[in-house]
Amino acid sequence: MTTMAPRQRPPLDRWRFDELAAGAEKIWGLEAIAKVLGVSSSTARRWAEVDDVPIYRPAGVGAYFALRSELIAWLRSK
């Protein structure tokens, strides 16, 4: 299991929360997930490999997705 250092997590300010809370429940693609989280696509890809980060890549699909409600809960827990 990989852990993230606290400095790698972006702060959850009111502008990022508004972006995170608005929109469709399912977010498709690393670029869209990274934009919501306020990080680069490569950071979102690294985070997807961490067990407790709710970014998924189903076998055979090839595309990443995340559920908005799970990302909000994960960020609140940090």
Give residue-wise pLDDT tens across range 5-45.
545 556 656 556 666 666 678 899 999 999 888 899 999 99
Q: What is the pLDDT of residues 48-75, one digit of tens each?
A: 999 899 999 988 878 999 998 899 888 8
In terms of pLDDT, which residue wins out, 7 or 76? 76
Of 77, 75, 72, the closest CA to residue 27 belongs to 72
**Coil, strand, or helix at residue 22?**
coil
Residue pair 54/70 in contact (Cβ under 8 Å)? The answer is: yes
Count of CB atoms situated within 10 Å of the CB of 54: 19
Domain coordinates of the chain in residue numbers? Answer: 26-77
Of 1, 8, 7, 73, the closest CA to residue 39 belongs to 8
pTM above 0.75, yes or no: no
